[in-house]
Amino acid sequence: MSTEYFYETADTVITKKKSNEKIEKGLKRLLIIAVIILAGELIWLFGVSPFIPFSSVEVHGFSGLSRHQILTLAGIDDNSSFFSTNVNIVKEKLSSHILVESAVVIKRFPDKLSIFLNPRQAAAVTLANINSRQVMIYIDRYGVFYKIENGDLDEKTNIPVISGIENASLNMRLPSALVPLVENLGKISVSSPELLSAISEIRIERKAWDGYDLVLFPVHGGIRVRIENNLTEDTLKYMLLMLNVFETDNKRPQEIDFRSGIGSYKIEELS
CA-to-CA dists, residue 192 to 153, 187, 234, angstroms = 20, 8, 11
pLDDT value, residue 270: 47
Kindly state the percentage of the chain with pLDDT values over 70. 80
Round to whole Å and give the CA distance between 160 and 215. 12
Report whether pLDDT(97) > 60.
yes
Neighbours of 161 (CB within 10 A): 16
The alpha carbon dihedral of 94, 100, 104, 109 has a sign of negative
28 falls within a domain? yes
Q: Check whether residue 80 and residue 34 sit in a common domain.
A: no
Domain of residue 29, residue span? 3-50
User: pLDDT tens-digit profile of 173-217?
Assistant: 999 999 999 999 999 998 999 999 899 999 999 988 888 999 999
DSSP for 194-215 reads HHHTTEEEEEEEE-SSSSEEEE
Mean pLDDT computed over every residue of the chain: 83
Q: Check whether residue 43 and residue 95 sit in a common domain.
A: no
User: pLDDT tens-digit profile of 149-165?
Assistant: 876 655 446 788 999 99
Residue 66: pLDDT band with limits 50, 70, 90? very high
Tell me the residue type at 119.
P
132 falls within a domain? no
105 falls within a domain? yes
Mean pLDDT of 221-226: 86
Q: Considering its fold, how many domains does the chain have in total?
A: 3
Residue 71: pLDDT band with limits 50, 70, 90? very high
Q: Check whether residue 10 and residue 92 sit in a common domain.
A: no
Q: Check whether residue 254 and residue 191 sit in a common domain.
A: yes
Mean pLDDT of 231-252: 83
Round to whole Å and give the CA distance between 34 and 127. 72
Q: Check whether residue 245 and residue 177 sit in a common domain.
A: yes
Measuring CA to CA, which residue among 205, 227, 206 is closest to residue 218?
A: 227
Q: Check whether residue 159 and residue 248 sit in a common domain.
A: yes
